[in-house]
Structure 1
Amino acid sequence: MTAIHFSAMPTGDAETYWAGGPDAYGLTPERQISDGDGVPCRHCLKTVGKGEAYLVLAYRPFPALQPYAETGPIFLHAEPCERYAAEEIVPPMLESPDYIVRGYGANDRIVYGSGAVTPTGDIPTRAADLLARDDIAYLHVRSARNNCYQCRIDRA
C-alpha cells in the first residue's frame, strides 16, 4: 500500500495572512470570534476554540491561476499556530462523517473520475489507492457538503 501524509497549508501562506496580506481575491482576511463549532484551521488542522479569534479568507491551494484552480473560503487561527506535523494520521479537524477526496495531476488539473465522497475513516485507504496511480500527483480533502478545501494528501 502507498504510504501517505496529510499536508496543512504551508506556513509561508499562513504568515502572509497573519501579517495582513491579501487573500486570493486581493482582500484583507476578515477577523471573527469562534463559537467553538465548525471552524477548522487549515494550518494546525485543529478546530479553533470557542472565544478564539480566527481569519476568514479566500484561499487557492494551487501554484497558479488556471481553470481548475478552485478558490474558496477557509478559516485560519488569527494568531500564529504550529503547522500540523502528525502527517501520517487523519487530522483532528476532520470531524464530519465524510469528505470528498479528489485527485489532481502533475499539471494541477482534476483527474476526472478520481473524486468521491468518502467516509472519514476510509480516507487513508482511499488516498493510498489513488496515489498508487501514475496519473495522480496529489489529493485534496474537501467538504462533502460545501466543497471547501480542508487539506492536501501526498505520497510519503
Structure 2
Amino acid sequence: MSNIRFSAMPNADAQALWNGDADAYGRLPETMISDGSGNPCRHCLHNIDAGEPLLVFAYRPFPDLQPYAETGPIFLHKTPCRRHVAEEIVPPVIASSKDFIVRGYGENDRIVYGTGAVTLTSDIPAYAAKLLDRPDIAYVHVRSARNNCYQCRIDRS
C-alpha cells in the first residue's frame, strides 16, 4: 500500500466554508446535528459524533466546471478539525463501511471509462494501486456505493 496515499478535502476548501464562504452551488452550507451514523467529515475523515453540529453543502472536488465534474452533498465538522494526515492507511470513514465505488480520472479530470467498480473496503488499496499503475489514470476517487457521495481521493505516493 506504500505506493498510494489517501487525501482528505484540502485545508483551503474546509477553511473557506468555516469562514462563511458559499458551496459549489453558491449557497451557504446548512447546519445540522449529527445523529451519529453516516455523517463522515471529509476533512478529518472521521465520523461526526452524535449531537455534534455539522455543515452539509454541495462539493465539487474538481478544479473546473465540465461535464464530468460531479457535485454532491458532503459533511464537514462545523467546528474546525484537523485534516487527516495518515495518508498511507485506509481512513476511518472508509474502514467503517463494507464497500465503495472506486473510479479513476485522467489528467483532464474526466472519468476514465471502465475503471469504476463497487469495491470491498479491504480491496480498495490494491484496486487503487492497480488503477494508478496505468498511465491514463491521474488519481482515483472513493465514493459511496449507495449514494455516490465523494469520500476522499487517492493519489500516487
Flag as ranges the 4+ runs of structure 1 deviating above 4 A: none
Q: State the distance in 2 between where 1:50 and 1:18 align.
A: 20
Cα contact 1:114–1:130 (8 A) shared by 2? yes
Cα contact 2:100–2:118 (8 A) shared by 1? yes
Alignment-derived partner of residue 119 in structure 1: 120
**Identity within the alignment, %:** 70
Deviations 1:63-116 (A, max 9, x none): 000000000000000010000000000000112210000000000000000110
Alignment-derived partner of residue 141 in structure 1: 142
User: If the length of structure 2 is used for normalisation, what is the TM-score?
Assistant: 0.98
Aligned length: 156
Q: State the distance in 1 between where 2:14 and 2:48 align.
A: 15
Q: State the distance in 2 between where 1:96 and 1:86 align.
A: 18
Q: State the distance in 2 between where 1:102 and 1:5 align.
A: 15
Q: Post-superposition shift, 1:55?
A: 0.2
Cα contact 1:2–1:131 (8 A) shared by 2? no
Amino acid at match of 1:34: S
Structure 2 residues not aligned, in runs of 5+: none
Q: Give the SS at the match of 1:17.
A: helix
Alignment-derived partner of residue 8 in structure 2: 8
**Greater Cα shift, 2-11 or 116-125:** 2-11
User: If the length of structure 1 is used for normalisation, what is the TM-score?
Assistant: 0.98
Q: State the distance in 2 between where 1:111 and 1:37 align.
A: 32
Amino acid at match of 1:105: G
Amino acid at match of 1:61: P
Alignment-derived partner of residue 110 in structure 2: 109
Alignment-derived partner of residue 42 in structure 2: 42
Amino acid at match of 2:6: F
Q: Post-superposition shift, 1:20?
A: 1.1
Alignment-derived partner of residue 86 in structure 2: 86
Q: Post-superposition shift, 1:2?
A: 7.0
Q: Give the SS at the match of 1:93.
A: helix
Cα contact 1:141–1:153 (8 A) shared by 2? yes
Cα contact 1:68–1:108 (8 A) shared by 2? yes
